[in-house]
């Protein structure tokens, strides 16, 4: 029965133990979900990070991965602490819950702040990044991200296709007579960017900037919803832990 085997558990203690055990099973699955969202962000949704001026979006994803791993470890620890009835393990469990809660609050605050600043950041930096770094040595990541952005969202240029007239690559003569990158074309073939007629390239109102902003904002909302959901669940976990700790302390005395 653990370190207090000489004491018979009260009905309340038994109920708290099973409540906390059930909670930890759910908490472990929640940690898996948080980690999955973080990995999903890094692995599948990070193509456009090189187009962003700040690293806040990347930092939020890493915080989610770390929080998810800690949640899963904490869930296992919580089960051990519950059935072994070790108050020192319950204290450690409570501290880890509080740490995870703070991590998720930080991620939530960062997501909210970045959500508010995203439009300004993109307006100030996206065009410069595209016209100055596209097809330039050492900026292969930007080139790949721009091509994917224009093809995936059916857009051309930051604000419109005219932005590419300021491109260092287009002006250098290395573009082979292209006036826009081939990724602007509705049907991509080599050299198709030599003609910028609306029948050949994407001419979308607002350009790629509005598409990218909407994409990132939607993903930030997912991150925020996951963080808030897990944080709310943790409050119950901390309450159950405090109640069980107090119950064991009373039985000990």
DSSP string, 186-238: SS--TTGGG---TTTB---TTHHHHHHHHHHHHHHHHHHHHHHHHHHHHHHHH
Structural domain boundaries in the chain: 126-208
- How far the first Cα of the chain sits from its last, in Å, is 17
Structure tokens, 200? 């050949």
Task: Per-residue pLDDT tens, the chain, 253 aa: give them.
Answer: 344 444 455 666 677 777 777 877 887 888 888 888 888 877 766 677 878 877 788 888 888 888 888 888 888 887 777 777 677 877 888 888 888 888 778 877 888 888 888 888 888 889 999 999 999 998 898 999 999 999 999 999 999 999 999 999 999 888 889 999 999 999 999 999 999 898 999 988 788 999 888 888 888 888 778 777 777 777 877 777 777 667 766 555 4
Taking the CA atoms of 157, 160, 161 and 167 in sequence, report the sign of the dihedral they define.
Answer: negative
Q: According to the model, what pLDDT value does residue 189 have?
A: 93
Quote the CA–CA distance of 197 and 185 in Å, as a whole number: 10
Q: Is 173 left (phi over 0), alpha (psi -120 to 50) or beta?
A: left
Question: Is there a contact between 174 and 206 (Cβ–Cβ < 8 Å)?
Answer: no
Place of tokens 């721009």: 146
Question: Is there a contact between 67 and 226 (Cβ–Cβ < 8 Å)?
Answer: no
250 three-state secondary structure: helix
Quote the CA–CA distance of 146 and 148 in Å, as a whole number: 5
3-class SS letters over 75-143: HHHHHHHHHHCCHHHHHHHHHHHHHHHHHHHHHHHHHHHHHHHHHHHHHHHHHHHHHHHCCCCCCHHHH
Say which DSSP state 213 is in: H
Taking the CA atoms of 22, 25, 30 and 33 in sequence, report the sign of the dihedral they define.
Answer: negative
| Architecture of the domain made up of 126-208 | Orthogonal Bundle (1.10)
Q: According to the model, what pLDDT value does residue 251 have?
A: 54
Q: Virtual CA dihedral for 234, 62, 154, 133, nearest 10 degrees?
A: 150
Q: According to the model, what pLDDT value does residue 133 have?
A: 92
């Amino acid at each position: 029965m653990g370190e207090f085997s000489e004491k018979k558990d009260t009905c309340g203690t038994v109920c708290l133990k099973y409540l906390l055990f059930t909670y930890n099973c759910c908490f472990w699955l929640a940690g898996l979900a948080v980690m999955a969202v973080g990995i999903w962000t890094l692995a599948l949704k990070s193509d456009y990070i090189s187009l962003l001026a700040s690293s806040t979006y990347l930092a939020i994803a890493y915080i989610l991965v770390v929080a998810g791993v800690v949640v899963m470890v904490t869930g296992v620890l919580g089960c051990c602490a519950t059935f072994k009835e070790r108050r020192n393990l319950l204290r450690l469990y409570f501290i880890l819950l509080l740490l995870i809660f703070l991590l998720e609050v930080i991620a939530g605050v960062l997501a909210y702040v970045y959500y508010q600043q995203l439009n300004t950041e993109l307006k100030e930096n996206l065009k410069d990044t595209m016209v100055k770094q596209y097809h330039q040595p050492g900026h292969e990541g930007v080139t790949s991200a721009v091509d994917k952005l224009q093809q995936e969202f059916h857009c051309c240029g930051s604000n419109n296709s005219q932005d590419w007239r300021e491109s260092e690559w287009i002006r250098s003569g290395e573009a082979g007579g292209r006036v826009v990158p081939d990724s602007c074309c509705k049907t991509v073939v080599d050299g198709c960017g030599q003609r910028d007629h609306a029948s050949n390239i994407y001419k979308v109102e607002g350009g790629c900037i509005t598409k990218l902003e909407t994409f990132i904002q939607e993903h930030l909302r997912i991150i925020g919803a996951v963080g808030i959901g897990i944080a709310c669940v943790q409050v119950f976990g901390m309450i159950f832990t405090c109640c069980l700790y107090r119950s064991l302390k009373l039985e000990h005395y």
